[in-house]
Amino acid sequence: MKGTTYMSNLRPVRICVALAAVGVIAVPATASAAPVITMSGSTSVAPLAALLARGYVKSYPGKVKFKLAQGGSDVGVADVAAGRVSIGLSSRDPKSSDPGGLVFNKVAKDSICIVTNSSNPITSLSSAQIKAIFSGSVRNWNDVSGSNKSGTIDVIVRTAASGTQDAFQKIFMGSSSVTGVASAKSSNGLIQQTVKSNPNAIGYVSFDFISGVHASQYNGVACNLRNSKSGEYGGVRNFWMVTRGAPRIGNPIWKFIKWSQNSSSAAKITGKHWVPIN
């Protein structure tokens, strides 16, 4: 099912050109009276949400405006539950601890890639190796097969509010805990930047953030769109647009989510860096 029922302040930033900034989707001046859909949450889902919002505005000019903020999946879920935003963006699945009455609407799937510095291009990491490295039981690159580095491994992870952290724990770590000496970052971009600048670092990011770093194979399978779409790559998780109750049929939020899930235009946008659900 695309919608499953379970149960910060929004700082909009205008983006007219650069989607990397993620913020308000520009609309024609004639749309000043258009309703506004506000979104906050996952730094993984935000780039896709921005592209979908821009595509929707292009398809239906003047019908709606968008404001988008980030902060992590838990922030998006909390914001929509409290009525602070129209849609919470989440890259983690629903939790039993989430507030009641929320509806998780699946809009895409995404790959989590294990990344190292480009000067340390490890071909493949097994599940056992990833658990050993991120749990801290292996702490030196000398002890990692395929590494050309020596010295302490700098483990970079996401903060607790992150949906990527939640998905990484479930998919890659299982019952193993992440080492307490790991450096926690609040966004995919910060992990990407840290690993890019630190030859001894290892981390994990959404597939959309692998530029400038090396994405290792996971159990011998490359982290790429083809393997993610085929189901061969094992590090795939869901992207959600979360609403406070089911959107009323025909209202702007319902129309945008249904367009994001079902239209060929949205699938074309999603398919560039993510896995469409249809």
Determine the average pLDDT of the residues in 235-240.
98
Supply the pTM of this predicted model.
0.87
Task: Name residue 244's beta-bridge partners.
Answer: 102
Mean pLDDT for the chain overall:
91
What is the set of domains in the chain, with CATH numbers?
3-110+238-270 (3.40.190.10), 111-230 (3.40.190.10)
Nearest to 188 by CA among 167, 165, 172, 166: 165
pLDDT at 11: 41
Would the pLDDT of 91 be above 80? yes
Determine the average pLDDT of the residues in 176-193.
97
pLDDT at 15: 31
pLDDT at 32: 54
Question: Which of left, alpha, beta for 59 (phi over 0: left; psi -120 to 50: alpha)?
Answer: alpha
Q: How far is CA 204 from the centre of its chain?
A: 11
Would the pLDDT of 242 be above 50? yes
pLDDT confidence bin for 17, thresholds 50/70/90: very low
pLDDT digits (tens, 9 = 90+) for 147-173: 999 999 999 999 999 999 999 999 999
